[in-house]
Chains A and B, each alone.
Chain A
Amino acid sequence: MSDSIWDDPNVTSYILGELPQDEAEVFEKRMQEDPKLAEVVAEARSVTEQLQVMYSNEENPTLETARRENITRNNPITSVTLERKTTWRVPLVLLATAAAFLLLVGGPLLMQREEGRIATDSIVPRQSARAPMQESVDAPQPPMAASTSSGITPDSPYSVQGFPNRSAADARFIEESEKSPGTLNESDMDFDMAESAGDSSDIYKGLAMGSGNPADKKIANELQRKSALQKVPLESAKTAGSQQAEITFDKATTDVPAPSSSRSRAEMPVQEENSLVPTPPETKDGSADRDRFNNITENQYKRVTESPLSTFSIDVDTASYSKVREYLLRQRRLPPVDAVRIEELVNYFDYEYLPPQDDAEIPFAATAEIISCPWNNRHRLARIALKGKEMQTQERPLSNLVFLLDTSGSMNARNKLPLVKQGMNMLLSQLGENDRVAVVVYAGSAGLVLDSTPATNTREIENALTNLAAGGSTNGGQGIKLAYQIARDNFIVGGVNRVILCTDGDFNVGTTGTGSLVRMVEKEAAGNIFLSVLGFGMGNHNDNMLEQISGRGNGNYAFIDTEKEAQKVLVNQVNGTLVTIAKDVKLQIEFNPRMVDSYRLIGYENRVLAKEDFNDDKKDAGEIGAGHAVTALYELIPAGIKNGIVPPRVNKLKYQSPNELTDAANRDESFTLKLRYKEPEGNTSKLHEFPVVDNETKFQDADHDARFAAAVANFGMLLRGSAYSGDWNFQDVIDVAKDAKGEDMSGLRAEFVEMVEAASKMQ
């Protein structure tokens, strides 16, 4: 009976969204008329959903580090130099575990090796306890042979090569810990075992070939810097009985055993229940740490004579701060360097900047002042502060919100989907009867869970939320299209029209690719539907992409790790989160060479713009929400102060002479601040500018907000291992922060002090 219905391939095409619009409509009509067809569709849908879950639960390998490096350097034959500078550290626990593993496994492992046992072409049955050993036997064992004569910080516990069993896990660990100091869960470990030796052998090959590469030096310096910053007595690992924990790569001298045929480890099975395998520490939510952060290269000092203009976009994101807090206070480890975006740390806090007058023409107030730099007493510190117009809840324009919720399997964790729901409920409590809310989910296939509904219709909304469950893989591409569609359908002219993406990270864009996603987000932002991103949970967080799309989508990006953070973002600052009062806000500072020799913008690395972009209204920049405060800090070297940290001058030009000073340079202005912004729905920017004079204010006489912001900025530099943190250490940060805490109604500043204390214990 239903068999003949099953003959129709349109059933599957319909479920997979492959039918053209008109055919799909016809099909739906047929379904309404024919309950049997509807039943078949339901059954087929159930099958595809199960399949999706199955595929999404596949733990598939990523490319081996060495191969990936090859690709990124776009060169098929080159050697591997491992020049990425970030975090070569591995958390203590890992090393300790590794050392313990050596004790347990190292012996038998070596014996096997002596027996010349090689796992050629062996296909080891699943769950065999031998699997990882054969793995390691097969792989080169450089730590044993490696010399410690390298200049690369032989005693740095953070150099990753401390792994006793170099074969399996560590190549991957390098990869992982580059991204963030890695913790892997068991299944990941299994994977590494399976994937294994190809990594290391390639790496070693590369290393052998790559000696003499200038990148080596760079690594050495980097590691030295790191170890100076974060020297930890690794007693536990040492006593666990291995010098392994200290052995480092020495590219010049490492004797690299030739890797054996790759086939031999090609199909290493996954093994699951082997007590000999070290269980790496799990992250809080039990997921592997695959957070991805973009590399940040710190801003350098620039000479005013050579680069008189400094241009950047504002950034009100705060995600980096919550992320760092999650690392320090909950996971109890130092965050990866690139997770620390200093401007986001500074901008996390409420500052008591005065908002603009009610009748002010500009929707935000801008001020700047110059105080002495606390970590370098010959330098000055310029603080630029913007404060968005505040808005009472009753003044807030009507909102048309579409929540785009990631309900893929990975959201199934305490600090993810449940927190999303909680956060949404909090936000709903802030909305009124004329605000509208819709919910779109994506997981495998996208779907509309709740069509746009008045926000006061709490029962319906709560029902929809309660029935959400995590499962399936992620197809964000379709989801986001649908979300924008709903937002457009319910567009409120002059209101807040916003898609709010809640995800734990990997935003799988389907077949479209990141580029077209970004273009779509930009296009919709141009049509006044903005995008905000709320990140949840650790472990698979594609920080880079989320920051990018929220930036292009004229939205903000917050990372919600706790109920308290949800409260901050969705209740206390709900107007700032929802209502944009000025968009594409750019700053350009022109320094006066008579007063300032050099300057350095602290943070905002990925927000720096070319000077030409300032007047180019097509260039996107950051937004300010209602009541948002934005702070930017510059460290200034006054004219006439000698210093060793500014890059050397370039040679005099042969065909041109340097600009002459204008009359204005004779004024005592240190710089002129120029601001450009657009009205939330405008397309042309407005310019606002004012000069700033250094009144010789001492740091201790500055207001507590300025001092606190300076402490936060320096903390960021310390976490990043910056060369510019001057003579401060964590204790100085603590002292100043405590002193400058002010009223601290929210308790956030006290929490900051707690974080610094935690970090200082981890150094």
Chain B
Amino acid sequence: MTESGATWPAETINALVDRYERPLLAYAGRMLGGDWQGAQDAVQETFLRLCREDPVKIESRVAAWLFSVCRTRVIDMQRTNHSTPFDSSQIAVADESPDVSAAVIDAEDRDQLHGLVEKLTNRQQEVLRLRLQAGLSYREIAEVTGLTIGNVGFHLHAAVRNLRDSLAVS
């Protein structure tokens, strides 16, 4: 039972899972260096915690809450998981699978951009993903990452700027 006694209606949980499972898995998977099974664990755990969380408390900021919890979970996993190192150059990532029907034409461009994104700092990659894939606001990203809002804007802009520079060069 939660503090206010309120619980989540099943349909809300369902809708939240529908809405956030993909961006959360992408986010966790990426942070875990492509360990998609680990990402599944982390995201499942995140949603299970959501079920136990008081809806009244977090209703207004579910997105940020989900990503924060997921992030913490991932970091915990990284701590306990250090015994299984991986070679980052070989990590296969799911986002390299283009949509076959649509991809042919701009696949090359995208792969190029993808490669460039990979070269950004982890922090920049993280805020980019939170903003452009998960759709979080600066304020929410700040809440998730512990950065200040200004810092979030700074990192995002730096990422965009870097990409623009690299795209201009290539």
Contact = CB atoms under 8 A, between A and B. Distances in A.
Interface in B1-30: 10, 12-19, 21-23, 25-26, 29
B99 A57 contact: yes
B153 A191 contact: no
Given A12-B160, A57-B99, A63 B17 contact: yes
A743 interface: no
7 contacts: A6-B161, A18-B137, A47-B160, A74-B52, A267-B35, A272-B97, A513-B63
Contacts, number: 218
Contact of B13 (A54, A60, A74): A74
A675 to B, nearest CB: 29
B100 A186 contact: yes
A286 B100 CA distance: 9
Q: Which 5 pairs from chain A and chain B are nearest by CB? A: A269-B92, A58-B95, A9-B157, A12-B157, A270-B97
A74 B150 CA distance: 37
A18 B109 CA distance: 28
Contact of B22 (A9, A61, A70, A75): A61
B101 A287 contact: yes
Contacts of B96: 126, 270
B104 to A, nearest CB: 12
B132 A55 contact: yes
Contact of A270 (B10, B92, B114): B92
A477 B63 CA distance: 13
A542 interface: yes
Contacts of B36: 61, 194-195, 266-268
B97 to A, nearest CB: 4
B94 A71 contact: no
Interface stretch (A144-152, A327-335, A503-511, A656-664): A503-511
A123 B160 contact: no
A542 B132 CA distance: 21
Nearest to B14: A72
A597 interface: no
B146 interface: no
Given A12-B153, A60-B23, A286 B101 contact: yes
Interface residues of B, number: 76
A194 B94 contact: yes
Contacts of A475: 135
Given A48-B132, A71-B51, 20 more contacts: A9-B153, A16-B138, A18-B138, A47-B164, A51-B117, A57-B110, A58-B26, A60-B22, A60-B25, A62-B21, A64-B40, A74-B13, A74-B51, A76-B48, A123-B86, A262-B41, A267-B34, A292-B18, A509-B19, A514-B19
Contact of A62 (B22, B51, B102): B22
Given A12-B153, A13-B153, A60 B100 contact: no
Nearest to B84: A263
Given A194-B94, A272-B97, A473-B133, A409 B102 contact: yes
A510 B47 CA distance: 18
A218 interface: no
Given A12-B153, A54-B113, A194-B36, A72 B10 contact: yes
Nearest to A126: B92
Nearest to A542: B18
Contact of A511 (B51, B59, B63): B63
A13 B22 contact: no
B56 to A, nearest CB: 12
Contacts of A61: 22, 25, 29, 36, 40, 94
Contacts of B19: 508-509, 513-514
A444 B132 contact: yes
B108 to A, nearest CB: 12
B164 A44 contact: yes
B121 to A, nearest CB: 15
Contacts of A67: 40, 43-44
B73 interface: no
Interface string B108-141: 0110011001000000000011011101111010
A191 B94 CA distance: 7
Contact of A510 (B12, B86, B135): B135
Interface in B81-99: 84, 86-87, 90-92, 94-99
Given A44-B161, A475-B135, A198 B153 contact: no
B84 A121 contact: yes
Contacts of B101: 185, 282, 286-287
B44 A268 contact: no
Contacts of A266: 34-38
Contact of B138 (A13, A51, A64): A13
Contact of A18 (B62, B128, B153): B153
Nearest to A475: B135
A108 interface: no
Nearest to B52: A74
Contacts of A263: 35, 37, 84
Contacts of A265: 37
Contacts of B102: 57, 409, 412
B57 to A, nearest CB: 14
Contacts of B153: 9-10, 12-13, 18
Contacts of B161: 6, 12, 44
B156 A16 contact: yes
